[in-house]
Amino acid sequence: MKKSLKFIIALIPLILFVMSCDICDIDDEKNNPVRELSALEREIVSSENLFGIKLFKALNDAKPDGNLFISPLSVSMALGMTLNGAADSTYDAMKNTLELQGLTEDEINQAYKDLIELLINLDEKVVMNIANSIWIEDNFSVLQPFIDVNKTYFDAEVESFDVADPNAVNIINEWVEDKTNGKIKDIIDIIPPNIALYLINAIYFNGTWTYEFDKNDTKDEPFYNLDNSTSTIPLMSMNATLPAFFMDSLSVVDIPYGDSLFSMTVVLPNNKNDINKLAESITNDTWNEWLCQLTAQELDLYLPKFKLEWDDNLKDVLTELGMGIAFDPDNADFTRINPQIPLWISRVIHKTFVDVNEEGTEAAAATVVEMVFESAGPAISIIRVDHPFIFAIREQHTGTILFMGKVLEL
């Protein structure tokens, strides 16, 4: 995980890409007229937010001392495509984890399709791109209905690759890099020899602030980190009338992009030591309650100018959230992808990027669902000494260690 600021970003990603329809209108006069959401779209957005908050809290619990920046929409869409290949208990576990209870499969797919079309066309002043793809190993066969449904509803590109091709990793990584405007690089490190297919979602967002910060007002100021150290950071500032509200324990401000159809919502605990307590307390109801209390207020806003990259394998946290069966070689059921060869998910790789500056915000995310099968023979082990390591020089007969070292950089 890369860190630029020791800064816990609590809820920014939850509304960069998903608009909740269960919340109060913040400022009707600023909102451009857009079509009403269908009942299915309302359901999928509600599910997105429920899943997103649940995922955020689980990741925060797992690593409370580190930065965190995720795109729930990207994870949900990659798993949504995968859901079309799941069956029986695996299907139910994935559906429940994604908070899609109560929706039929056709409704789920149609809602994803409608939401994609709505988001990418919502605000002409904001760049919002969503891309999906399926990469199938040359020697692995996939049922055509699985391909067709993901092409129809997720507009998924379908590509093939050869696991023996040393350039395969680069080809897949280049697709992700291209779809995220160069912001998400090298999401895949190696391709396992028993690979069957990859399902990939990529999202790119670029929005200029409705009210831009003046660069001349950006000053180097202290930032008080969670570990009680202090950093010097560029702090942007402006005086503006923005949707906000204040209570004893926290402050909330909504900073709009473009025509105000996208925004960044910042939730700031009044005591920095309460950040993890705040993260643990968030529910969909409290989130909506905060948004309903936003009212236009004149205020002085100070916001860090920063870049942040984050990545992780979501296997453990998704298992904790209820879809462990999908990662279980003995019990996973993806027979709607291939009924003859048992498949399971080996990794769900999630990588994000965000750049917040005076003009606006550029953000990107990609999610890779890696699906494998039982290898016909033992897998070839790979050791890549391309990061810090410890080594020793020893005498074989007596076992005496003559030298021991640690290499952090070369």
- The Cα 402–Cα 271 span in angstroms is 51
- Under 8 Å between Cβ of 370 and 191: no
Q: Where are the alpha helices (DSSP H) in 314-374?
A: 315-318
- The Cα 144–Cα 17 span in angstroms is 31
Token pair 């797992």 in the structure block, residue: 62
Using pLDDT thresholds of 50, 70 and 90, give the confidence band for residue 404. low
321 domain-assigned: yes
Residue 205 in 3-state DSSP?
strand
pLDDT, tens only, 8-35: 343 344 333 333 444 455 444 444 557 7
- The Cα 73–Cα 116 span in angstroms is 10
Q: Which pLDDT score is estimated for 389?
A: 54
Q: Is the pLDDT of residue 402 over 90?
A: no
257 closest CA partner among 212, 302, 297, 225: 212
Average pLDDT over residues 324-342: 97
Residue 195 in 3-state DSSP?
strand
Same domain, 57 and 74: yes
pLDDT, tens only, 135-152: 999 999 999 999 999 999
Average pLDDT over residues 255-279: 87
- Under 8 Å between Cβ of 325 and 332: yes
Average pLDDT over residues 338-345: 96
Higher pLDDT, 227 or 352: 352
Total count of residues recorded for the chain: 410
Which residue range(s) make up the domain with 242?
A: 215-300
Percent of the chain whose predicted confidence (pLDDT) is above 90: 59
Q: Which of 247-256, 276-285, 309-318 shows the highest mean pLDDT?
A: 309-318
Using pLDDT thresholds of 50, 70 and 90, give the confidence band for residue 406. low
Same domain, 176 and 103: yes
Average pLDDT over residues 181-205: 96
407 domain-assigned: no
The 10 Å Cβ neighbour count of residue 327 is 18
- Among 300, 321, 355, the domain-final residue is 300
Same domain, 47 and 165: yes
- Under 8 Å between Cβ of 304 and 235: yes
Q: Which pLDDT score is estimated for 400?
A: 52
CA dihedral 223, 226, 227, 232 (to 10 degrees): -10
- Among 262, 279, 300, the domain-final residue is 300
For the entire predicted model, the pTM comes to 0.86
pLDDT, tens only, 155-184: 999 999 999 998 999 999 999 999 999 999
pLDDT, tens only, 68-79: 889 999 999 999
Helix (H) or strand (E) holding 93, with range, is: helix 88-97
382 domain-assigned: no
Same domain, 313 and 268: no
Same domain, 202 and 345: yes
pLDDT, tens only, 269-308: 888 878 888 888 888 888 889 889 999 999 999 999 989 8
